[in-house]
Amino acid sequence: MWPDAIVSPLDEALAMFCNGVHAFGPFCDHLLGYWNASLENPDRVLFLKYEDLKKDSLSEIKKIATFVGLPFSKEEEKAGLIGEISELCSFGKLKDLEVNKTGIHYGSFLNNSLYRKGEIGDWVNYLTPEMAQRMKKLVEAKLNGSGLVLDI
């Protein structure tokens, strides 16, 4: 069971997020740092979005393999290796790993809280319309002019 001091209501967590209070620093600044690094050094930083991985995992896996210098051969593609890797790395497989069912992430929250459904847009089932609008405005303002577009 969690100590009461660690658990905060979602609206309080959103307020902290919007104010840049996060265990790893302001999220949008963190995101933009990696986005800009990927633009400045595309051979050293690969920027991926979860939504793209969910929509077309095979293409994204091929992109990752090429990025790390190990592109798939035609034979490997034909044999279905990319699909096998996609299945091994799928949300369902990762969610079912014992390490992701137990333990505490960085001493802050339960590992299993990192996995809900793995569906794009599922956040609408957790945030009120007001909360969603606040989040959308913040993200759009922070990312404005960067070229980075998130599907919100």
Query: What average pLDDT does range 52-67 have in this prediction?
Result: 97
Q: Is the pLDDT of residue 5 over 60?
A: no
Specify which residues 109 forms β-bridges with: 105
Q: Count the Cβ atoms, other than its own, within 10 Å of residue 60.
A: 19
**pLDDT value of position 27:** 86
What three-state secondary structure class fits 110? strand
Q: Is the pLDDT of residue 101 over 60?
A: yes
**pLDDT value of position 2:** 42
pLDDT digits (tens, 9 = 90+) for 14-44: 888 888 887 777 888 999 999 999 999 999 9
**pLDDT value of position 26:** 86
DSSP state of 46: -
> Whole-structure pTM over 0.85, yes or no?
no
Half-sphere exposure of 21 (CA within 13 A, CB side): 6
Picking from 58, 139, 26, 38, the residue whose alpha carbon sits closest to that of residue 48 is 38
**pLDDT value of position 100:** 87
Q: Count the Cβ atoms, other than its own, within 10 Å of residue 11.
A: 13
**pLDDT value of position 124:** 85
Higher per-residue pLDDT: 147 or 21: 147
Picking from 118, 117, 100, the residue whose alpha carbon sits closest to that of residue 109 is 100
